[in-house]
Amino acid sequence: MKTRSNIRPAILILALAALATTQAAAQEVARVEVSPATLSLEVGETATVSATAYDAAGNVVDIPFLYFSRDGRGSLAVNRTTGEFEAHKGGEYTILARALGPGRISGTMTVTVAFPPLDRIEISQDGGRYYVGVTLRHKATVIDQADDERDVPVTWSTSDESVATVDRFGVFSGHAPGEVTLSAAAEGVAGQITYQVTDNPVTAMAVEASQARGRTGDVIHFAATASDAGGGTVDDIPVTYGLIADPDVIATADFPPAEVDGMGRFVAYKPGIYTVTASVPGQTAHATVEILPRHVAEEVQLVGHAPVRNVSTSDLWVWEGVDGRDYAITDTHSGHGSTYWWDVTDPASPVLTDSLIVDARTTNDVKVSEDGELCVISREGASNRRNGIVIVDCTDPRNIEIISTYDDELTGGVHNLFIYDDHVYAVNNGIRFDVINIEDPANPHRVGRFELDTPGHAIHDIWIVDGIAYTSNWNDGVAVIDVGGGDRGGSPENPVEIARFRDIGGATHAAFPYRSPTGKFYIFMGDEIGAPAFDGQEADRTPQFMAGYIHVVDFTDPENPEEVARYEIPEAGSHNMWIDDDRLYAAFYQGGLRVLDISGELKGNLYHQGREIAVYKSYDPDGVVANAPFTWGPQIHKGNLFFSEYFSGMWAVKLQPRRTLIP
């Protein structure tokens, strides 16, 4: 059976191949020429290119072509079959004609689309009035007649160099009183701004720190006051802040020991003595502060472990049940659709009370209603591709019962969800969240949905506090949405967006709002990024790694949010988080569980400020992957810190004051 007919069939295969090869060779495309080879035209004009295919002997081959332009995407509208195209934007582009035949042979031609003449140059500068000696940088934006911004070098000049000069970077310096016009010119078009340079009236300078002594990580505000000879305040002269650092420990090739920004906000990474200078032309003042170690580290005590060793664990939720006892739910990932209920009243000895298997491979997220009676589980990987959510009666966590399922238009999978005020906010694996009324949990029904309006938008997570939803939208950052608690008239039926913020990087996976006792309202935005070192093709040899960090955004003024700080663990990536009482509890995958002091105002990289209270990495020799911390999500509950570990289930730890003496 194995070999009887091997030789003849093999010959037949080769014979067929040879026949096919012979037939094809006569028409095999060896090269493609595109005519014309080059073309120049104006924006708005159309033209047509045509391709001809030749075989190796130079004979024309009759074959269809596809025309397209990779670098002209958005700039050239190319008809893929006729080769006709219209120029939309200036530039040099390549049109490729692909012969639809074996060998993937193509030819190319070059299109040069003349840029439209420039229309205008707009000049912008930082605030402040021009007194003699003041120096500020300007930026020029060049816009053509198609209203497109152009990358064209500009030439800077001033109308009177005895009054003011400008360098090639647009840095403008006033030298003497008088009127002067600053120009940025290119291709016959110029933008201009006229200044009145006046005498510098400042005769005295003072700077004051908001506190004389602080700890690493404390944000100290330096306020400068410039005064004239009459004692009046000159508040429109730009002030430059500088820093003279004398850290306690000096190391080479280290990050700066402290920083101060243009608004006089100072933060130190190392203890020491720091002098901040505030300067205006001809006057400088300084103030010195002492920075002490933060001393916030605490001991971590292992309390208990609820092991799950046959499947990976995803999210968890801990709550006080209707019977007054404490319970936790843990979900599973890439497994068999299971969810586990635990009695954690004694967190040192978690007791498995019940479990549920639904038609899914991943039950990524679980939440419990505010009254502790309903548990809602997300589903992915259902065998019938009808994923959606599962609503469970967990009044008695020893005898849980499925009440209903809901999957209408959630068939691609629900990845995350939140329960708020008798509604489930379910994030599908695509582009929106749906609002599902569960007042009657046996008859859930959709009442609303929300979707961003940006091209290619995607959503990953949702969190709701006081009727405001915070959604995490990858490249679109965080969206703040009124679902009943805001002032925009939002409701579950009609979610209304309040604000949106895209952080640096644009990989927003989770967001957690926090109203600090300082009065600041922060949103912590966590990345999820594949680690550059992770080679997905080497599963057996490469451990799982993730990258990314937590961005801290000051949302106190929702109209003007500002990214002020970050928490970046160099060797690990961020995942889920929880915040309570000035403490951030953050899961950092291979970086374990981290507890961070977020008291006070926040600025800079919090990792380097001595704010880390604790780090705990759980090692389970019997885990799905042995001794491999991969922390998924934390939750603080009645003083115990519970967290789920991807490879080993749920753990509970407790923080205790550090027992080492602090000098």
Partner 1 sequence: MRRKAGLAVAAALTAAALPAVGPIPVQAQSYWVYVAAESEDEVSLLRYDAGGDLVVEKTIVTGWLAAEIEAPHGLAMDPAGEYWYLTLGHGFPNGRLVKYETVSDTIVGVADLGLFPATIAIPPHGALALAVNANFHGDHVPSTVTIVDLETMFPIADVVTCTMPHGSRFNADGSKHYSACMMDNQLVEIDGATLDVTRRLDLVANEPAHAPMDGHMAMAPPGEDCSPTWTTPHPDGNRIFVPCNKGDVILEIDLDTWRITRRIEAPGAPYNLDLTPDGSRLLATLKGSAKLGIWDVDSGELLHLIDSEMRVTHGVVATPDGRYAIVSVEGIGGDPGTVEVIDIASGTRMASARIGKQAGGITLWRMEG
- How far is the C-alpha of 473 from the C-alpha of 457, rounded, in Å? 7
- How far is the C-alpha of 451 from the C-alpha of 479, rounded, in Å? 10
Residues 257-286 touching partner 1, rule: CB under 8 A, are none
Residues 95-124 touching partner 1, rule: CB under 8 A, are 96, 98-102, 104, 106
Question: Is residue 499 within 8 Å of residue 487, measured between CB atoms?
Answer: no
Residue 18 parent element (H or E):
helix 7-25
For residue 234, CA distances in Å to 174, 179, 239 come to: 17, 20, 11
Q: Is 608 helix (H, G, I), strand (E, B) or coil?
A: helix
Binding partner 1 by CB under 8 A: which of 268, 287, 410, 606? 410
Amino acid occupying residue 403: I
Which listed range, 3-11, 110-118, 513-521, 560-568, lies at the site for partner 1 (CB under 8 A)?
3-11
Instruction: Give the binding-site size for partner 1 (rule: CB under 8 A).
Output: 75
For residue 63, CA distances in Å to 33, 164, 230 come to: 13, 67, 87
Residues 474-503 touching partner 1, rule: CB under 8 A, are 474-475
Question: Is residue 429 within 8 Å of residue 417, measured between CB atoms?
Answer: no
Q: Is 38 helix (H, G, I), strand (E, B) or coil?
A: strand
Residues 351-380 touching partner 1, rule: CB under 8 A, are 357, 359-362, 380
Closest distance of CB 393 from partner 1, Å: 22
Q: Which is nearer to partner 1, 495 or 600 (CB)?
A: 495
Closest distance of CB 425 from partner 1, Å: 16
DSSP string spanning 575-593? --EEEETTEEEEE-BTT-E
Instruction: Label residue 416 left, alpha or beta by phi (over 0 means left) and psi (-120 to 50 means alpha).
Output: beta
Question: Half-sphere exposure (CA, 13 Å, Cβ side) for 426?
Answer: 36
Contacting residues for 221 by C-beta, under 8 A, at least 6 apart: 209, 210, 264, 265, 266
Residues 583-612 touching partner 1, rule: CB under 8 A, are 589
Binding partner 1 by CB under 8 A: which of 337, 444, 490, 629? 337
Which listed range, 168-176, 269-277, 278-286, 426-434, lies at the site for partner 1 (CB under 8 A)?
426-434
Q: Is 320 helix (H, G, I), strand (E, B) or coil?
A: strand
Closest distance of CB 315 from partner 1, Å: 12
What is the residue whose two structure tokens read 């664990």? 313
Residue 109 parent element (H or E):
strand 106-114
Contacting residues for 560 by C-beta, under 8 A, at least 6 apart: none
One symbol per residue from 439 to 478: x for binding partner 1 (CB under 8 A), - otherwise; what is it?
-----------------xxxx--------------xx---
Closest distance of CB 471 from partner 1, Å: 13
Binding partner 1 by CB under 8 A: which of 27, 159, 275, 334? 334
Q: Which is nearer to partner 1, 477 or 600 (CB)?
A: 477
Binding partner 1 by CB under 8 A: which of 22, 252, 383, 660? 383
Residues 156-185 touching partner 1, rule: CB under 8 A, are none
Q: Which is nearer to partner 1, 66 or 292 (CB)?
A: 66
Q: Does 81 bind partner 1 (CB under 8 A)?
A: yes
Q: How many CB atoms lie within 10 A of CB 92?
A: 13
Question: Is residue 499 within 8 Å of residue 559, measured between CB atoms?
Answer: yes
Closest distance of CB 100 from partner 1, Å: 6
Q: Which is nearer to partner 1, 287 or 531 (CB)?
A: 531
Closest distance of CB 40 from partner 1, Å: 24
Binding partner 1 by CB under 8 A: which of 335, 347, 441, 623? 335
What is the residue whose two structure tokens read 């190796």? 56
Closest distance of CB 32 from partner 1, Å: 12
Binding partner 1 by CB under 8 A: which of 10, 244, 250, 626? 10
Which listed range, 275-283, 394-402, 411-419, 617-625, lies at the site for partner 1 (CB under 8 A)?
411-419
One symbol per residue from 517 to 556: x for binding partner 1 (CB under 8 A), - otherwise; what is it?
-----------xxxx--x-xxxx----xxx----------
Residues 57-76 touching partner 1, rule: CB under 8 A, are 64, 66, 68, 70
Q: Are strands 38-42 and 106-114 parallel, antiparallel or unpaired?
A: parallel
Residues 615-644 touching partner 1, rule: CB under 8 A, are 630
Binding partner 1 by CB under 8 A: which of 133, 247, 381, 610? 381
Q: Which is nearer to partner 1, 146 or 458 (CB)?
A: 458
Report phi then psi at 9, rounded to 5: -60, -40
Closest distance of CB 178 from partner 1, Å: 55
Binding partner 1 by CB under 8 A: which of 408, 439, 562, 571? 408
Binding partner 1 by CB under 8 A: which of 218, 407, 597, 612? 407
Closest distance of CB 80 from partner 1, Å: 6
Residue 225 parent element (H or E):
strand 220-228
Write b or e for each residue in 397-413: b if 16 or more Cβ atoms lie within 10 A of its Cβ, otherwise e: beebeebebbbeebbbb
Closest distance of CB 8 from partner 1, Å: 8
Cα angle: 453, vertex 454, 459; to 5 degrees: 85
- How far is the C-alpha of 208 from the C-alpha of 187, rounded, in Å? 48
Residues 16-35 touching partner 1, rule: CB under 8 A, are 16-17, 20
Q: Which is nearer to partner 1, 326 or 380 (CB)?
A: 380
Q: Which is nearer to partner 1, 14 or 56 (CB)?
A: 14
Q: Which is nearer to partner 1, 474 or 514 (CB)?
A: 474
- How far is the C-alpha of 424 from the C-alpha of 429, rounded, in Å? 15
Q: Are strands 60-61 and 529-530 parallel, antiparallel or unpaired?
A: unpaired
Amino acid occupying residue 474: W
Question: Half-sphere exposure (CA, 13 Å, Cβ side) for 121?
Answer: 22
Q: Which is nearer to partner 1, 59 or 81 (CB)?
A: 81
Closest distance of CB 353 from partner 1, Å: 21
Q: Which two tokens stand for residue 145?
A: 């007649």
- How far is the C-alpha of 40 from the C-alpha of 18, rounded, in Å? 46
Residues 300-329 touching partner 1, rule: CB under 8 A, are 311
Which listed range, 210-218, 336-344, 480-488, 514-522, lies at the site for partner 1 (CB under 8 A)?
336-344
Closest distance of CB 460 from partner 1, Å: 8
- How far is the C-alpha of 555 from the C-alpha of 563, rounded, in Å? 9
For residue 213, CA distances in Å to 241, 448, 612 come to: 19, 52, 20
Q: Is 15 helix (H, G, I), strand (E, B) or coil?
A: helix
Closest distance of CB 550 from partner 1, Å: 16
Closest distance of CB 461 from partner 1, Å: 12
Binding partner 1 by CB under 8 A: which of 215, 265, 423, 575? 575
